[in-house]
Amino acid sequence: MRNLQQRGEEPAMPAPDSSKPVPVERLLGGRVSIQILHRGQVYQLSLTRNDKLILTK
């Protein structure tokens, strides 16, 4: 892990149990949107006024 931090990379998080859905409240943490980094690209996951989820690049 120390080598990753020295190179400016984030350490890998433990993989969640993929058999259980993750509640959106846990992902958003009370916010209406969050930014997600995937392969160097930033995406935004947003909760709409109609209680829908939108993922944009």
pLDDT at 8: 56
What is the Cα–Cα distance from 57 to 52, expressed in whole angstroms?
A: 17
Match 């859905």 to its residue by tokens: 21
For 5-27, the pLDDT digits (tens) are 455 566 677 776 778 999 999 99
User: Each residue of 27-53: pLDDT tens digit?
Assistant: 999 999 999 999 999 999 999 999 999
pLDDT at 19: 84
Q: In the chain, where are the structural domains located? A: 22-57
CATH of 22-57, one of 2.10.70.10, 3.30.300.180, 2.60.40.10, 1.10.1740.10: 2.10.70.10
Distances in whole angstroms, Cα of residue 44 to Cα of each of 7, 13, 26: 25, 20, 16
